[in-house]
Chains A and B, each alone.
Chain A
Amino acid sequence: MFNIYCPYCEEHREEEEFHPKGQAHIQRPTDPDACSDKAWGDYLFFRDNPRGIHHELWVHAVGCRKFFNITRHTVSYAILETYKMGEQPTITAESLASEEKQGDVQVADGGLQTVGASDNSVSESKGAKV
Chain B
Amino acid sequence: MQRYSGFGLVKHALSHHENWQRQWRNPTPKKEYDVIIVGGGGHGLATAYYLAKEHGITNVAVIEKGWLGGGNTARNTTIVRSNYLWDESAALYEHAMKLWEGLSQDINYNVMFSQRGVLNLGHTLQDMRDIQRRVNANRLNGIDGEVLDARGVQELVPIMDCSKRARYPVMGASWQPRAGVARHDAVAWGYARGADGHGVDLLQQTEVTGFKIVDGRVVGVHTNRGDIGAKTVGCVTAGNSSVLANMAGFNLPLESHPLQALVSEPLKPILDTVVMSNHVHGYISQSDKGDLVIGAGIDGYNGYGQRGSYPTVEHTLQAIVEMFPIFSRVRMNRQWGGIVDTCPDACPILSKTPVKGLYFNCGWGTGGFKATPGSGHAFAWSLAKGQMHPLAAPFSIDRFHSGALIDEHGAAGVAH
A binds B: yes
Task: Report A's interface with B, CB cutoff 8 A.
Answer: 1-2, 15-16, 19-20, 22, 37-38, 40-42, 44-51, 54, 56, 72, 74-77, 110, 115
Interface centre among A2, A46, A50, A56 (most CB of B within 10 A): A46
Instruction: Give A51 to B255 CA distance when docked, in angstroms.
Output: 11
Q: Is B307 an interface residue (CB 8 A)?
A: yes
Contact assessment for A49 and B303 in the assembled complex, using a CB-CB cutoff below 8 Å: no
- Kindly report which residue of chain B lies nearest to residue A37, judged by CB atoms: B401
Q: Is B243 an interface residue (CB 8 A)?
A: yes
Please tell me which stretch of B127-135, B139-147, B246-254 contacts chain A, meaning at least 4 of its Cβ atoms lie within 8 angstroms of it: B246-254
- 8 A Cβ contacts from B377-412 to A: 400-403
Given contacts A49-B254, A49-B256, contact A74 B403 (CB under 8 A): no
State how many angstroms separate the Cβ of B311 from the closest Cβ of chain A.
Answer: 5
Q: How many residues of B contact A (CB 8 A)?
A: 25
Instruction: Give A19 to B310 CA distance when docked, in angstroms.
Output: 14
Contact assessment for B300 and A49 in the assembled complex, using a CB-CB cutoff below 8 Å: no
Instruction: Give A61 to B142 CA distance when docked, in angstroms.
Output: 44
Contact assessment for A115 and B255 in the assembled complex, using a CB-CB cutoff below 8 Å: no
Q: Is B216 an interface residue (CB 8 A)?
A: no
20 more contacts with CB within 8 A, not counting A16-B311, A20-B300, are: A1-B309, A22-B255, A22-B302, A37-B401, A37-B402, A37-B403, A38-B401, A41-B400, A44-B344, A45-B400, A46-B252, A49-B243, A49-B252, A49-B254, A49-B256, A49-B302, A54-B302, A74-B305, A75-B303, A75-B304
Given contacts A72-B301, A74-B304, A75-B305, contact A47 B254 (CB under 8 A): yes
Given contacts A15-B311, A37-B403, contact A51 B252 (CB under 8 A): no
A48: chain B residues within 8 A (beta carbon): 251
Given contacts A37-B403, A74-B302, contact A47 B311 (CB under 8 A): no
A49: chain B residues within 8 A (beta carbon): 242-243, 252, 254-256, 302
Instruction: Give A82 to B300 CA distance when docked, in angstroms.
Output: 17
A77: chain B residues within 8 A (beta carbon): 303, 305
State how many angstroms separate the Cβ of B205 from the closest Cβ of chain A.
Answer: 18
Interface centre among A42, A45, A72 (most CB of B within 10 A): A45
Q: Is B59 an interface residue (CB 8 A)?
A: no
Q: Is B240 an interface residue (CB 8 A)?
A: yes
- Kindly report which residue of chain B lies nearest to residue A22, judged by CB atoms: B255
Choice from A37, A41, A74 contacting B303 with Cβ under 8 Å:
A74
- Kindly report which residue of chain A lies nearest to residue B310, judged by CB atoms: A1
Contact assessment for A56 and B301 in the assembled complex, using a CB-CB cutoff below 8 Å: yes
What are the 8 tightest A-B residue pairs by CB atom distance, in nearest-first order?
A49-B242, A41-B401, A20-B301, A45-B253, A20-B300, A45-B400, A45-B344, A51-B304
Instruction: Give A89 to B243 CA distance when docked, in angstroms.
Output: 22
Instruction: Give A10 to B208 CA distance when docked, in angstroms.
Output: 43
State how many angstroms separate the Cβ of A72 from the closest Cβ of chain B.
Answer: 7
A1: chain B residues within 8 A (beta carbon): 309-311
State how many angstroms separate the Cβ of A15 from the closest Cβ of chain B.
Answer: 6
- Kindly report which residue of chain B lies nearest to residue A38, judged by CB atoms: B401
State how many angstroms separate the Cβ of A75 from the closest Cβ of chain B.
Answer: 5
Instruction: Give A120 to B53 CA distance when docked, in angstroms.
Output: 55
- 8 A Cβ contacts from B265-318 to A: 300-305, 307, 309-311
State how many angstroms separate the Cβ of B16 from the closest Cβ of chain A.
Answer: 41
Instruction: Give A50 to B303 CA distance when docked, in angstroms.
Output: 9
Instruction: Give A41 to B403 CA distance when docked, in angstroms.
Output: 8
B311: chain A residues within 8 A (beta carbon): 1, 15-16
A75: chain B residues within 8 A (beta carbon): 303-305
B255: chain A residues within 8 A (beta carbon): 22, 47, 49
B403: chain A residues within 8 A (beta carbon): 37, 41
Instruction: Give A22 to B298 CA distance when docked, in angstroms.
Output: 13
Contact assessment for A2 and B253 in the assembled complex, using a CB-CB cutoff below 8 Å: no
Contact assessment for A19 and B300 in the assembled complex, using a CB-CB cutoff below 8 Å: yes
Instruction: Give A49 to B251 CA distance when docked, in angstroms.
Output: 9
Instruction: Give A77 to B310 CA distance when docked, in angstroms.
Output: 14
Contact assessment for A2 and B309 in the assembled complex, using a CB-CB cutoff below 8 Å: yes
